[in-house]
Amino acid sequence: MRRILFESLVARPLTERAPEKDDAALAALAQRVDRAAWRRLGRSLSIREVDAGSCNGCELEIHALNNASYDATPDPKWVVAVGDCAVDGGIFSGSYAVVGAVENVVPVDLHIRGCPPRPTQLLAGLLALLENM
């Protein structure tokens, strides 16, 4: 046990490096999403995330973008499968407790892969949905 503790103290972390901070690119992407939402929906974009069973990594990223009540969200409404768990069951695929992809339960309008997907992937996917639906 001591050996494992010591190794964990001196070993490099097993996480990936944080992405380079590019405030200008993120602001430009957010402005494009906002303009597309107003053009397509006539109002700002509201996101309601439903956790259907996952490691919660994707949920943290989605909650960082927005939080609203789905019943209070007027039409049009789209279903977006966010993260590998929602797309195909992810690391839990094949488990007795997992039905599989969200699209096995409800129709899905957009799939965004990742474990978890980066916030910019979420925004880019939402922008594609807004511009192409």
Q: Delineate the domains of the chain, giving CATH numbers in brackets.
A: 25-132 (3.40.50.12280)
Assess whether pLDDT exceeds 50 at residue 105.
yes
- Average of per-residue pLDDT across 52-58: 74
Taking the model in full, what pTM does it have?
0.54
pLDDT at 69: 47
Least confident of 16-20, 115-119, 125-129: 16-20
DSSP summary character for residue 102:
G
- The vertex-113 CA angle with 112 and 117, nearest 5°, equals 90
Position with higher pLDDT, 89 vs 12: 89
